[in-house]
Structure formats: structure tokens, C-alpha cells
Amino acid sequence: MATKLLLTFAICRLIVTVGLTLDPTELLLLGVDAQLSVDPTDVKAASLDFGLLTGAQPPLAVMHPASSQDVAQLVKAAYGSNFGFTVSARGHGHSINGQAQTANGVVVQMSGSIGGSGVASGRKPPYPRLWPQERFVDVWGGELWIDVLRSTLQHGLAPKSWTDYLYLSVGGTLSNAGISGQAFNHGPQISNVHELDVVTGKGELLTCSEEQNSEMFHAVLGGLGQFGIITRARISLEPAPQRVRWIRVLYSNFSTFTRDQEYLISLHEQPASQKFDYVEGFVIVDEGLINNWRSSFFSPHNPVKISSLEPNGGVLYCLEIAKNYHESTASTIDQEVESLLKKLNFIPASVFTTDMPYVDFLDRVHKAELKLRSKGLWEVPHPWLNLFVPKSKIADFDKGVFKGILGNKTSGPILIYPMNKNKWDHRSSAVTPDEDVFYLVALLRSALDNGEETHSLEYLTNQNRQILRFCDEAGITVKQYLPHYTTHQEWVDHFGNKWDRFYRLKMEFDPRHILASGQQIFTPTN
Ligand code: FAD
């Protein structure tokens, strides 16, 4: 009874907001009332994201699905209704610019439970289901990667390609790409999926793969949630390593740094023993950081005088590499690492090594999260800027941005690592620069209200604009990763020669523009 009342309330809000008349029985006939919630806690949680940039966008209601069919019923109702309301899947809400939000519709809370009736009532999505012989696992679209890892490890298996942080949903990262230091070798996460179940914008539930509904399959991967809601993904697995040797080395010269990074990713076809499993890197531009850069990661037995490093233009570069191994092969790991390090030209005194269980390595960012949370520094605005920069222009980017615009000040880590384009399936919706090798540059900033101008949200947002303008004027054809645009033309330019297909498939699979309207690519039609 209470649920019905809440639902009626949600319907009334829909009517008022959309401004059209509607027979309330229309929504009451949805048959999804058991999972629809207008509980203020649910609505508030679904109205925010990690970026905290957009202000709260409260949805009209939140749905906690327990099956693909629940999702299909809701979207079918939205598609068939006279007044039209939007439906946005939300994974873990770790977007920056409101991509999983919708003010005029229903948020489908795919991950976990924010007090949702579905989970509370014992109705849970049916996965994971592991296929050890075939080496894949079927997971619910809202499953967090940390839980995928935990469940597959029980069988000695693990996914091959990761993100740096595991508290992200499978559907959320597959809607973008899902990248980390393994991408040069295995490709992004979207290159490691065999099959998907997807609810289209018409409320149809389709299974798709390379062989079946293949256009849908490729469109959804990197598709920013525009074509359907992923309710199941079949993820490729490999035997799980047990431990990781994790190494950081420093450079003061940018071209030496990138030459080494590019050399390491060129080894992707080599046997496992002759390449690293993970290649990333980061930029240290802050004077403060340069003087204080030895985090707990670095061995105190291995001090290095920063003044002896002579940072070029005040900037240092840290190459971060890792090698996975099993305890049974531990005897060869030292040799393998040593022979790989011999080929590199880092500053000799700057090798810092640590060794840890595979899970701890993959889950490393969570540790940082807990530290930041304890200082009240996690739930702050995050004006992040993630760019794919073509290899041919990365030196120009270094000069203009790291050694120029940033002015020896940052507000968070700056990641930089190259990837091989041939590991990305060109049929997916993900967009990358038009060169064989391109870099991710991730400016992962946190805005702080501490009176320092260079930490303010306004300052950092302006700097992001300045960086994009600089790239434009310098002819550096970057592509945004986790893109955010507000005009039609910007989206057309972003997708480039993929736009026509993207548009055609949107018209086919979500003709009323019901899904993921928070991306601001298409305007919902009433
Ligand atoms: P949400 O923010 O909930 O949703 C993102 C978009 O996907 C929305 O448009 C939403 O409607 C859509 N969506 C969500 N679920 C589904 C579904 N089941 N089916 C269809 N569409 C869906 N990315 C990387 O690639 N590598 C990293 O190393 C990395 N590290 C990160 C670290 C942190 C701390 C944070 C905050 C983000 C990081 N990201 C990284 C970015 C992250 O991959 C994206 O923001 C991703 O969208 C987050 O997943 P989510 O589950 O929170 O998605």
C-alpha cells in the first residue's frame, strides 16, 4: 500500500514536471512498483555523482531492479507512454558531469542498494556465473569490478583488463572503455567482453555479441549508455597471478620518459616473460610534491636527493610498471625485471620497488580513497579532465601544459601513459585519436575551498578550458575520454567519422531518446 502511494506521488511529480496530462493509471499499470522508490535517501543519492559539479539533479523516482525484465518493463513503459519520461542507468555514480543523472525521469540504480526494496526484499540480480573451462564470467551490469574480482579469484581466475579503481560498475566502465596500465597489452575492458544482454530504448531485451546483433554489441561498447542498458556482461578471464612486483623510476627528461614508455608498450606481442604486465606513469609538477614526493610506496632505504635530479622545467616524470607472477615462478621474477629495466634510461638512483598480493595491487586506489575520506577530501568537487593525446603531439602537450599552463601547481595526480590503437576495436563507439599510439593524460583534480585561489573550482575549471583551447590552437587533436560536451556540434566533432553510425543506431535503438540523457548528446522527445 505504502509503495503504491509513493508511486502515485512519483507519478504526480512526473505529470507536473513534464507538464502534460496523463492518466495516472498508465504508470500504475507499469507493473514495476515493487522496485520504484521515491524515498528521499534514494533520490538524493541518485541526484549526485563523484564530480559534484552539476548540483543535485533529483530524479522523479529511483528503481532498484532485480532482473533484466524489471529494467525492460520500465523502459518499455517510458517508450510507450504518451507523456514521455527518461530513464538513466546509474552504476556507482562515479561520473564527473552528471552523465548518470536525469531530472525528468527514473534513475535505474544498477549497483548495490541504496535502501532499495529489491535487494532488501531478497530479490537480487542472478549473477555472477563463472565458466571456468571457457574462461569467462557472466556478471550483472551493475556489479562492481571489485566484486567481479573477488568472485573469479575463488576459481583462480581474473579479468585481464582493469581500471585503476575497482569501485566502478561493469556497465559504467563498458559504456566508456575501461582503461588502466594493462590496456597496451589486452586492450581496454571493452575489448575483453564476449557477450552482453542489453535493454534497448524500446524496452526490448537483446543478447548481443560478435555473432548475434553485432551492430548493437559494438555500438553499446563505449556507447555512453545511448543504445541500451547493459544488464549482463560476459567478461573474458585469465589465470589469476598471485603477486605483483611494482616498480617506479624517475625521469627529468620528457622525451627519454616517453621513449621508454613507448618501447615498453611495443613489447605487447612478446612472450609474457619479456614484457611488463602494466605500464603507466605520472607527472610531478608541484614544487611541494617534488620536494616531498617519496610516499610510503618508496623505500626509505633508497633515498634520492631531489636536487640531484635537476627537473627539466621544474617537472619530473615517474614511470610506473608492474610484473605479475605466481609464487611457483618467483625464482625468475628478479631476472626478468632486471633484464627489462636494463633497456630503460631512467635516473639510476631512482628505482623504487615493492611487492604485494595481486588483489592489493589492483585495489590500490581504494587505500588512497580511505585516507582521503578520513580527511574529508573525497567528497569534494572533481573537475577532472581526461584526454587522449596522439603520440606525435605529446611533446607539444608537455611543453604547453605540464611546463606551461599548470605553472608548477596541480590539485591531484596527473597520469600519463601510452596505448596501442590496434588493441581497440574500431567498430566500438569509443573514440580515440587517429594514430597507432596515443596517450591518456588524466588530470585528476580535487577542488578545495581552502582560500587558495589555485585550488578553487573556478580556477581549475578555467584551467581546463585553457588546456582545451591551447590544444585546439596548437593543432593537438585530442579526444576527450569520459567526454563532456553541451552542444550538438561538439558531439558531432567528438565522434568524427563515427557520428553518422552513432546517430543512425540511436534512431534505431532509442528513437525517443529516453536513455542516458545526462550525457547531453540527444534531447528527449516527448
Ligand atoms: P556511472 O557514473 O553510474 O554511469 C556512467 C554512464 O554510464 C552514465 O551515462 C550511465 O547512464 C551509464 N551507465 C551506467 N551503468 C550502465 C549500464 N549498466 N548500461 C548502460 N549504461 C550504463 N575510468 C577508467 O577507464 N580507468 C580508470 O582507471 C578510472 N579510474 C577512476 C577512478 C575514480 C576514483 C573515478 C571516480 C572514476 C574513474 N574512472 C576510470 C572513470 C569511470 O570509469 C567512469 O566514470 C565510469 O562511468 C564510472 O562507472 P560508474 O559505474 O560509476 O558509472
Q: Give tens-digit pLDDT for 74-132.
A: 999 999 988 789 999 999 999 999 999 999 899 999 998 534 444 444 566 777 999 99
pLDDT score for 4: 43
Cα 282 to Cα 249: distance, rounded to the nearest angstrom: 11
> The domain 2-118: what is its CATH number?
3.30.43.10
Cα 324 to Cα 62: distance, rounded to the nearest angstrom: 41
Residue 373 has pLDDT above 60, yes or no: yes
pLDDT score for 123: 60
> In this predicted structure, which of 115-124, 239-248, 328-337 has the lowest mean pLDDT?
115-124
Is 94 a catalytic site residue? yes
Give, using CA atoms, the residue closest to atom 45 of ligand 1.
95
- Ligand 1 neighbour 177 (Cβ under 6 A): yes
Structurally, what CATH architecture does the domain formed by 129-239 represent? 2-Layer Sandwich (3.30)
CB contact set of 460 (below 8 Å; sequence gap of 6+): 383, 411, 445, 447
Could you identify the atom of ligand 1 that is nearest to the CA of residue 481? 25
pLDDT score for 125: 72
pLDDT score for 19: 43
Contact 463, 431 (CB under 8 A): no
- Residue of higher predicted confidence among 312 and 217: 217
pLDDT score for 293: 46
Structurally, what CATH architecture does the domain formed by 243-480 represent? 3-Layer(aba) Sandwich (3.40)
pTM for the structure as a whole: 0.93
Which letter does DSSP use for residue 241 in this model? P
Could you identify the atom of ligand 1 that is nearest to the CA of residue 176? 47
Is 280 a catalytic site residue? yes
Is 33 a catalytic site residue? no
C-alpha cell, 351: 628505482
Residue 1 banded pLDDT, cuts 50, 70, 90? very low
pLDDT score for 81: 87
CB contact set of 110 (below 8 Å; sequence gap of 6+): 65, 89, 90, 91, 140, 141, 142, 169, 171, 229
Cα 313 to Cα 59: distance, rounded to the nearest angstrom: 48
Helix (H) or strand (E) holding 207: strand 205-209
Helix (H) or strand (E) holding 416: strand 414-420
Contact 50, 365 (CB under 8 A): no
Cα 271 to Cα 267: distance, rounded to the nearest angstrom: 9
Q: Which of 39, 164, 215, 396 is catalytic?
A: 164
- Burial profile 469-489: b = 16 or more Cβ within 10 angstroms, e = fewer: ebbeeeebbbbebbbbbeeee
Q: Could you state, in order of their start, the residue ranges of all structural domains in the chain?
A: 2-118, 129-239, 243-480
